[in-house]
Amino acid sequence: MIEVRPVATVDTEAMRAWYDVVLAAEAGRPLPAWPSFETAMRVWSVERDDLQDRFLVAELDGVPVGAGRLTLHLRDNTHLAVLKVFVDPPRRRGGVGTALLAALEELAAAHGRGTLLTEVTHPPGQPGAGAAFAAARGYAVAGREVLKAADLTTTADRWPGLAERAAARSEDYRLVWWTDTTPEEHLDSLAHLFSRFLDEIPLGDVDVRPQAWDADRVREGEERRRRSGIRPLTVAAVAPDGSLAGYTTLVVHAGDTHAGIESTLVLPEHRGHSLGLAMKVLLHQQLVDLVPEATLVVTGNAGVNRWMNAVNADLGYRDLEECLEVQKLLDPTPGGTP
């Protein structure tokens, strides 16, 4: 019999069983998608008031065979629930995924969330179990991304030429970079860029809405990362008037040998100066200096994002997986708690 129950993050043993199911379900992926258990637990143990994770385990005759996670945004995007479902490969096609998804959807509805969003990945051109499962459970494709990676040990020789090419078109701008703490002089400007980000990227039909950032929210995020053991690196382009024209940022989780790009943006009024390329080259160069053990950088971009894809191709990124953003709309439950 399949039984689905919640797992508390303070229950380390149950969380480890949950995580083992996730790792088994994700073992076939070409990307290093999950950090070590200890690192993940450190991240989840930091209290947040902007985001909440709920964990569910599915047991078959008492043995954990499925893992589910529900992520709720608490400050903005309160219409949304982000779901994940993982099933141990030998236990698939037995209804475990369906049971977990139903429990997650129920939880989302109880919190008044009307938009359910998840993502499924597969090798380029080869949709697999995730896509079939999503379609069978009524989730429609709302966006398409390609996940890609650059191996810094084989692509670093490209950087000097690319930096020179970009510099020729961005003479009026200067690049700055920092790790944990945004310099005070750029704080408001960075918050403005973060607030613009979701407006500026091609989201397709994905129902994610812009976030409102201010200096305090940026500082809160920095403090949370410090406590989570996450090492961030940001490069920004400063316009002649001193404001930030764009930024790119990555993070390295404790113990990982890869970095993940979080976001990159150049404001529309500053485009056409190769700032995206200039910032990304410096980001990769600084990563090598600061975290030499991180030799791989992973990123994801919408297939239709031609400008960002061209920059990444110049930097030697290779396509590894396709990622479908799949979405289902529920009728919100009146009286649900946000």
Ligand X SMILES: CC(C)(COP(=O)(O)OP(=O)(O)OC[C@H]1O[C@@H](n2cnc3c(N)ncnc32)[C@H](O)[C@@H]1OP(=O)(O)O)[C@@H](O)C(=O)NCCC(=O)NCCS
Which stretches of the chain bind ligand X, using CB under 6 A? 25, 84-87, 92-98, 118, 120, 129-130, 132-133, 136
Side chain identity, residue 204? G
Q: In whole angstroms, how close is the CB of 210 to ligand X at the nearest point? A: 25
Q: In whole angstroms, how close is the CB of 84 to ligand X at the nearest point? A: 4
Q: In whole angstroms, how close is the CB of 30 to ligand X at the nearest point? A: 14
Nearer CB in complex with ligand X: 25/279: 25
Nearer CB in complex with ligand X: 59/151: 59
Nearest residue to 66 (alpha-carbon basis) of 144, 3, 132, 138: 3
Nearer CB in complex with ligand X: 134/162: 134
Q: Return the residue matching tokens 């065979």.
A: 65
Q: In whole angstroms, how close is the CB of 203 to ligand X at the nearest point? A: 19
Distances (CA, A) of 185 to 182, 204, 274: 8, 34, 24
Q: In whole angstroms, how close is the CB of 331 to ligand X at the nearest point? A: 22
DSSP secondary structure letter of residue 139: P
d(CA 112, CA 130): 26
The tokens of 147 are what?
């996940």
Nearest residue to 316 (alpha-carbon basis) of 153, 156, 166, 150: 150
Nearer CB in complex with ligand X: 126/337: 126
Nearer CB in complex with ligand X: 62/335: 62
d(CA 134, CA 38): 30
